[in-house]
Amino acid sequence: MKILKNSWKKLKRDISERIRIIKRDHLVREYFKNNILFLTFVITGVLNSTILRFLCMHSVENYLSWKAVLADTVVVSMIGAFGYLLKPKDRFAYYFGFCLFLTGICMVNSVYYTFYTSFASVSMLSLTQYIGDVGDAVVENVLQLKDLIYVIAPLILIGIHLKLKKKNYYKRVELKSERRKRTFKSLSVTGALLVIFLVTLSSLDVSRFFKQWNKEYIVMRFGIYVYQANDLVASVQPKVNSMFGYDKASREFNDYFANVSEKPEANQYTNIFEGKNVIVIHAESMMTNVIGLRFNDQEVTPTLNRLSQDGMYFSNFYSQVSVGTSSDSELTYNTSLMPTKSGTAFVSYSNREYIGIPTLLNEKGYYTFSMHANNADFWNRRAMHKNLGYQRFYSKVDYKVDKENMIGLGLSDKEFFKQSVDKIEKINQKHDKWYGLLIMLTNHTPFSEVDKYGEFPVDIKETITNEDGTTEEVSYPYMEGTKLGNYFKSIHYADSALGEFIDGLDERGLLDNTVFVLYGDHDARLPKKDYNRLYNYNKETDSVLEEEDPNYRVFDSYQYELGRKVPFIIWTKNMKDTSLNFENSNVMGMYDVVPTLGNMFGFYNKYALGHDIYNIREKNIVVFPNGNWVNNNLYYNSQKAAYLPLTETPISEEEIAENTEYTNKLLDVSNNIIVFDLLNEDKNKELKEVSDNK
């Protein structure tokens, strides 16, 4: 009897458990059935953001970052919850509209990351006016098939919508109270997820979130949607209220420069070029890795090779650009300030006070001018060049441009230089001292007009001897047909144009009292796979060597970043075999140009963020806009919080912490100088008076 009783109890428990499971499964099925549109919206939105991170940031830390998934889920669920306030027949339009919006965020950031290795900023909207001028470059060099994968989300939502429509889902009647109840429940769950997310954040996460410099880190920890919302606030805030944070910015600015001398420190190169004329070449997309490179024993850049061998060559020089590319390099070259955190200084902050090299040379009696055979308003150069101190800007309207002498975005470099020599000769006749900037154009992405660059094969040609003693020439494709190969053809043309320009100046005696300065504005943003082919080509199989091959040369993300160096050369026609003819291999950045040239030409900018390389030498550090930095010992990637040693010197945690703190402070001070116009003494007096009277 007892056995029967226990068996009955066990049977009852089993039946109860089975009923509970059936009810639970029924409730789950019912929930999915009644909320399928909401769930589809949430799942596809989070899926898209996750795909974006996985395709852009290839690191284990990113792949395992569940915080970003949680943050994206919170954002998408919060948006989706308010859809329940609408009647069933109106919900699809709501979800589909936001689905397109979120999909657009992912697609834009996917395209943007391909080119800039960073995530998009709302402030870049001001740059859309220039898309027409570089449209081909965007299509050929940036847009990829992977950027279209995100359209799957709205397509799935449409598919679910059509199924629900067939089942008369949208004809249901729901009371307002029921819709509010569902909204409240969804928001409650979202709120719980938000609390879980917030308690997992570290102080470092919060600090980097508000600083906004390290965009990859923010997306890795907070997801793309939170990043984009935060970026919107950061982009709009300074424009809405320029007084916001002024006191703090001004105090940090004064503290930073409190111990900077009013007089530059002298060294063996002080005033060596004082009073000489200056020609500066802004070399579009010119990189250091082409110097000395040959194909079939033919030099890629014979002119650049000669200048680097006969002049003062800085072989470890980095550009420090952000979204403004060429305009950012002009800003930093002229002012020793870094690009702004949001937008570009040339476009968003052209009405600020700047201390540019031309302004400083104007004070020394120089006539200053700039030349660029493109639209004067491209990158807002018309306004900014005047603000930087250039007394005359020769733009497209000052040159004869026709179809026969155009390559890429405009007038070919050879024709540009040819016409510029005439203009410089006239300037030289009118002025005792002059300083001119010439901006090259032909070597601009996408490097596709190879038929106009002239003959320069980038294959491998060999002469082989057959068994019968006869010889024949064979060739292997090597870099032919690749973007990097086309770049070499383009840079060979640009280098040839540069050589003709120097010869033209010399023929008219314009180099006799002139210092020639050349800097690459930024790297060419070329595919890493092409570099892998360049360094690991197997001609026998017309393919890339396997990593296991003993001859394989590693070219990872660190090598790619370090390979983005650009040339910086100071040269005169009589410099060869003198004490000024040498290579400086200390790490150096674009912001070091102002103090370095200033020491040589006798001008000084107290508010330069860089250093005279001959004073700081091996102790120098180059800061990048994304928070990364490099010195002679290591390259530090702030996104990964990891580094690559460059020497055998031991690396200490103190060194990394100290340099990272220095990097963050410098970026903040530079940004504040521009955003709050801290170099404008009259404006700052007014702002201080307003602040004091509050």
Q: Are 228 and 370 within one domain?
A: no
Distance from C-alpha of 642 to C-alpha of 311, rounded to nearest angstrom: 36
389 dihedral zone (left: phi>0; alpha: psi -120 to 50; beta): left
Full 3-state SS string of 242-297: CCCCHHHHHHHHHHHHCCCCCCCCCCCCCCCCCCCEEEEEEECCCCHHHCCCEECC
Q: What is the pLDDT of residue 257?
A: 95
CA 121, 126, 129, 134 torsion-angle sign: negative
Residue 493 counted as domain residue: yes
Over residues 626-679, the pLDDT tens digits come to 999 999 999 999 878 899 999 999 999 999 999 999 999 999 999 999 999 999
Q: 236 and 275 share a domain?
A: no
- pLDDT exceeds cutoff 80 at 689: no
Cis check: omega of the bond before 527, within 30 degrees of 0 = no
- Report the pLDDT averaged over residues 567-573: 98
Are 441 and 374 within 8 A, CB to CB? yes
Q: Would the pLDDT of 138 be above 60? A: no
Among 87-96, 162-171, 396-405, which is the least confidently predicted range? 162-171
- Rounded mean pLDDT, 187-212: 84
**309/231 same-domain check:** no
Straight-line distance from the first to the last Cα atom of the chain, in angstroms, rounded to the nearest whole number: 91
**262 inside domain:** no
User: Strand, coil or helix: what is 179?
Assistant: helix
What domain range includes position 226?
A: 19-240
Domain final position from 562, 596, 618: 618
Query: For 409-430, what is each residue's pLDDT tens digit?
Result: 899 999 999 999 999 999 999 9
Tell the residue number behind the tokens 């470092």, with chain if given.
204
| Region of poorest pLDDT, from 34-38, 124-128, 226-230, 681-685 | 124-128
The residue among 50, 84, 97 whose CA lies nearest residue 225 is: 50
Averaged confidence pLDDT in the chain: 88
Q: Do 235 and 286 belong together in one domain?
A: no
Sorted by sequence, the CB contacts under 8 Å of residue 173 that are 6+ apart come out as none
- Other CB atoms within a 10 A radius of the CB of residue 375 amount to 16
Residue 599 covered by a domain: yes
Residues 435 and 473 in one domain: yes
User: Tens digits of per-residue pLDDT, 451-472?
Assistant: 999 999 999 999 888 878 888 8
462 and 411 in a single domain? The answer is: yes
Both 413 and 301 in a single domain? yes
Task: Please indicate, yes or no, whether residues 335 and 374 belong to a single structural domain of this protein.
Answer: yes
Region 70-90: mean pLDDT is 91
Do 297 and 156 share a domain, yes or no? no
* pLDDT of residue 691 exceeding 90: no
Same domain, 301 and 375: yes
**Furthest-apart CA pair in the chain: how many Å?**
124
Same domain for 124 and 170 = yes
Residue 473 and residue 359 in one domain: yes
CA distance 442 to 153: 40
Domain final residue, candidates 618, 651, 685: 618
Residue 313 is inside which H or E element, if any?
strand 312-314
Distance, in Å, from the CA atom of 85 to the CA atom of 176, rounded to the nearest integer, reads 8
pLDDT-based confidence at residue 94 (cuts at 50, 70, 90): very high
Span of 172-181, 468-477, 484-493 with lowest mean pLDDT: 172-181
Q: What is the pLDDT of residues 285-322, one digit of tens each?
A: 999 999 999 999 999 999 999 999 999 999 999 999 98
pLDDT at site 685? 63
Residue length of the chain: 694
Q: Is residue 143 part of a domain?
A: yes
| Residue that is last in its domain, among 221, 240, 259 | 240
The whole-number average pLDDT for the span 518-546 is 94
**601, two tokens:** 């030409």
Q: How many domains in the chain?
A: 2
Instruction: Answer whether residue 614 is part of any domain.
Output: yes
